[in-house]
């Protein structure tokens, strides 16, 4: 996407709706330009009539007019900036909403491919540069251009020869700023990249602070933090240095131009070809023109920063889900809950994690009977969790089909499919919210009694009632204030509240100690009663209760049957069982 295409896209998608406010701000820019020009113009009669002709009337009028001009300039500029700040913040919100909405809807593969810290950097740093492009660039282009035109008019009115000398500075300033703009664009991109890396690192530090302490890696992480912070500092410093490099260039050029003007104007005054009042009015106009010239000369830097950010943001907004969706998809008509995998193939080839790439499903055929429990057994990395993730379409299979009651899930509305599925994983995911809200996440319309009953059935109420704030207790980031078993019970309570007909359990009892496992197993028995249940478990009790067991190895189904069958015909299962007995 070219820079012009990006600017058109930003206009149509984000700024067009605020066009009336922008026009008002631009009209106020006319007042700013007019008042600034009038200040320079008023110096001519002020010097001539007051200081030279000693006019008693104008000694009051001209100062009043100068005050009015400054007041109009200041007030107009204030209102214009307030309007544009409001517009830019509206645009910031719209861009962030679009990004977040798309990330929430995005395929899991997109999230897996990029560290969350980099997404956060996109949402904060990049959006800030983008909104700065809108709030600063749009207003300054018009304000400074109009102001410069007004001041040039005053300058030419006073003396066209001096004006021709003065305007030499404008193309020189543009060429200098253009050269700096190319340099700062490159540095800005590097700074944004390192800001994303720093955000990613900070998240890792906060998430793994216990691990850091256990392995006594405080000094190692301090050194790493210093490296990351230093890289961001160096890139930011370099960007700032390149940005201010325009100042000495502009100052030197201004000094040269003023020196030439004073010399040339002095010659004209000596020959009585120009009045001293004309010269001071001209000089004031030229000095006032210095600010808009400098602003316009460096404006391309702001624009380039915004465009670089847009090139990082827009692909996220434009990312489309690759999950198959068709207009004629129908709601799932779930009766028995029979699930079948037919020649399923899947791989994580487009995920960068080398470990994950090894997990691939090859020609998987499974039948999971409705209302019964089916267990998946196999070594770590064999593909068990991937099978579970394919059912609610966290990922889509590359080949083959999955049906529920003879209805292809790829021809079923995604909402209809997922509303019939509950997932309880070993990696319990909770929000930094109250216990009550975490349970109610499964059903926002649930009554308090329904929430309390779900907690009771999952045996979560046993520890909740002992807490000071009970169900209103804040549990911290991902339930950090709870034990592993307590978090797992909340997860089960949430699944109970959803009342789904299909239950997926991924090592659901792995976080529980022996004393509470019996209670939790009863909660799971209640959750899965008369429901289609697919379970991955290392616990022997869960496996023995299963109606059918599939043994998965390296992405293949290598054996199936009940416990007794597999003990005689599957060495993998027998080995798995024997290890459970010994533990």
Quick one: pLDDT band at residue 339, thresholds 50, 70, 90?
Answer: very high
pLDDT band, residue 436 (cuts 50/70/90): very high
Give residue 350's pLDDT.
47
DSSP state of 50: I
Predicted local distance difference test score (pLDDT) of residue 355: 45
- The answer, yes or no, to whether residue 18 has pLDDT greater than 70, is yes
Q: What whole-number distance in Å separates Cα of residue 254 and Cα of residue 173?
A: 10
Q: What is the mean pLDDT of residues 67-84?
A: 90
- Nearest residue to 131 via CA among 168, 94, 163: 94
CB 176 within 8 A of CB 220: no
Instruction: Return the bridge partners of 490, or none.
Output: none
Task: Name the H helices within 420-545.
Answer: 435-440, 448-457, 461-464, 484-498, 514-528, 540-544
Residue 323 has pLDDT above 80, yes or no: no
CA gap 459, 527 in Å, rounded: 12
Highest mean pLDDT among 288-297, 351-360, 507-516, 521-530: 521-530
* Confidence band, pLDDT 50/70/90 cuts, at residue 352: very low
Distance CA 42, CA 72 (A): 15
Query: Residue 563: is its pLDDT beyond 80?
Result: yes
Please state which CATH class domain 89-318 belongs to: mainly alpha
Question: Measuring CA to CA, which residue among 537, 541, 559 is closest to residue 550?
Answer: 559
- What phi and psi, each to the nearest 5 degrees, are found at residue 547? -75, -30
* Weakest-pLDDT range from 105-114, 117-126, 475-484, 512-521: 512-521
Residue 112 token pair = 């897996």
What is the mean predicted confidence (pLDDT) over 16-21? 88
Segment 219-238 shows an average pLDDT of 83
The model carries a pTM of: 0.73
- Between residues 48 and 88, which one has the greater pLDDT? 88
Whole-number percent of the chain with pLDDT over 90 = 9
Q: Answer yes or no: are the C-beta atoms of 232 and 191 closer than 8 Å.
A: yes
Digit-coded pLDDT (tens) for 366-387:
999 988 989 898 887 788 888 9
SS (HEC) of 295-306: HHHHHHHHHHHH
Gap between the Cα atoms of 251 and 249, Å rounded:
6
Average pLDDT over residues 253-281: 78
| pLDDT at position 55 | 67
What is the mean predicted confidence (pLDDT) over 104-120?
A: 77
**pLDDT confidence of residue 58:** 74
Per-chain mean pLDDT for the chain? 81
Task: Identify the pLDDT of residue 180.
Answer: 65
Largest CA distance in the chain: 119
Question: What integer is the mean pLDDT of 228-233?
Answer: 83
- Length in residues, the chain: 583
At residue 354, the pLDDT reads 44
Instruction: Say what the pLDDT of residue 508 is.
Output: 59
User: Which range has the top average pLDDT, 67-76, 254-263, 513-522, 529-538?
Assistant: 67-76
Q: What local confidence, expressed as pLDDT, does residue 581 receive?
A: 58
Summarize pLDDT for 157-202 with one digit per residue, the tens: 887 877 887 777 667 766 766 666 666 666 766 777 777 778 788 8
Q: What is the pLDDT of residue 10?
A: 85
- How do residues 134-150 score in pLDDT, each as one tens digit? 777 777 788 888 888 88
Which residue do the tokens 């290890």 mark?
Answer: 579
Q: Looking up tokens 């700074």, which residue turns up? A: 191
How wide is the angle at C-alpha 61 spanned by C-alphas 289 and 32, nearest 5°? 30
pLDDT class of 403 with cuts at 50, 70, 90? very high
The per-residue pLDDT for 72 is 92
pLDDT in tens, 238-261: 777 776 766 677 777 777 877 887
530 closest CA partner among 373, 386, 327: 373
Q: Distance (Å, rounded) from C-alpha 472 to C-alpha 87?
A: 39
Candidate from 18-32, 174-188, 348-362 with smallest mean pLDDT? 348-362
pLDDT score of 79: 92
Structure tokens at 231: 């890289």
457/182: higher pLDDT: 457
Domain residue ranges of the chain, discontinuous segments joined by +: 89-318
List pLDDT tens digits, range 493-506.
Answer: 988 998 889 999 88
Burial of 421 (0-12, 13-18, 19+ CB in 10 A): buried
């Amino acid at each position: 996407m070219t820079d012009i295409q990006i600017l058109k896209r930003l206009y149509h998608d984000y700024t067009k709706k605020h066009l009336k406010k922008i026009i008002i701000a631009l009209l106020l820019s006319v007042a700013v330009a007019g008042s600034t020009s009038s200040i320079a113009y008023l110096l001519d009669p002020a010097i001539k009539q007051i200081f030279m002709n000693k006019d008693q009337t104008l000694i009051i009028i001209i100062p009043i007019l100068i005050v009015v001009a400054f007041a109009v300039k200041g007030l107009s500029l204030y209102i214009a900036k307030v309007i544009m700040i409001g517009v830019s913040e509206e645009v910031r919100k719209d861009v962030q909403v679009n990004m977040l909405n798309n990330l929430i809807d995005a395929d899991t593969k997109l999230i897996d491919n990029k560290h969350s810290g980099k997404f956060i950097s996109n949402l904060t740093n990049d959006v800030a540069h983008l909104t700065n492009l809108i709030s600063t660039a749009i207003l300054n282009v018009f304000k400074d251009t109009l102001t410069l035109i007004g001041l040039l008019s005053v300058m030419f009115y006073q003396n066209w020869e001096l004006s021709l000398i003065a305007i030499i500075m404008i193309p020189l300033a543009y060429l200098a700023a253009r050269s700096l703009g190319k340099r700062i664009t490159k540095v800005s991109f590097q700074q944004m990249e390192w800001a994303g890396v720093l955000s990613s690192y900070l998240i890792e530090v906060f998430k793994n602070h216990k691990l850091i302490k256990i392995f006594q890696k405080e000094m190692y992480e301090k050194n790493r933090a210093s490296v990351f912070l230093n890289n961001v500092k160096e890139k930011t410093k370099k960007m700032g240095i390149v940005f201010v490099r325009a100042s000495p260039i502009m100052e030197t050029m201004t000094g040269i131009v003023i020196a030439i003007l004073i010399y040339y104007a002095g010659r004209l005054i000596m020959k009585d070809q120009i009045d001293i009042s004309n010269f001071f009015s001209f000089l004031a106009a030229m000095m006032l023109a210095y600010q808009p010239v400098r602003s316009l000369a460096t404006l391309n830097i702001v624009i380039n920063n915004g465009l670089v950010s847009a090139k990082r943001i827009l692909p996220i907004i434009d990312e489309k889900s690759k999950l198959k969706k068709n207009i004629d998809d129908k709601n799932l008509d779930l009766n028995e809950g029979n699930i079948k995998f037919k020649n399923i193939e899947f791989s994580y080839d487009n995920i960068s994690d080398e470990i994950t790439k090894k997990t691939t499903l090859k020609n998987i055929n499974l039948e999971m009977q409705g209302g019964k429990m089916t267990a998946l057994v196999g070594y770590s990395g064999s593909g068990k969790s991937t099978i579970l993730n394919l059912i609610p379409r966290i990922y889509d299979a590359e080949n083959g089909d999955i049906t529920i009651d003879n209805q292809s899930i790829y021809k079923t509305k995604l909402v209809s499919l997922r509303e019939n599925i509950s997932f309880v994983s070993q990696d319990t995911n909770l929000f930094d919210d109250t216990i009550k809200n975490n349970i109610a996440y499964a059903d926002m319309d649930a009554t308090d009694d329904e929430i309390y009953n779900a907690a009771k059935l999952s045996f979560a109420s046993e520890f909740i009632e002992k807490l000071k704030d009970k169900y209103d207790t804040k549990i911290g980031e991902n339930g950090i204030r709870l034990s592993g078993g307590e978090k797992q019970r909340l997860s089960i309570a949430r699944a109970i509240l959803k009342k789904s007909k299909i239950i997926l359990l991924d090592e659901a009892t792995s976080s529980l100690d022996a004393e509470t496992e019996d209670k939790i197993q009863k909660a799971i028995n209640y959750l899965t009663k008369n429901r289609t249940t697919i379970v991955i478990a290392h616990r022997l009790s869960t496996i023995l209760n299963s109606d059918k067991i599939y043994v998965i190895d390296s992405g293949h189904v290598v054996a199936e049957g009940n416990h007794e069958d597999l003990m005689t015909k599957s060495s993998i299962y027998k080995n798995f069982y024997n290890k459970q007995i010994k533990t």
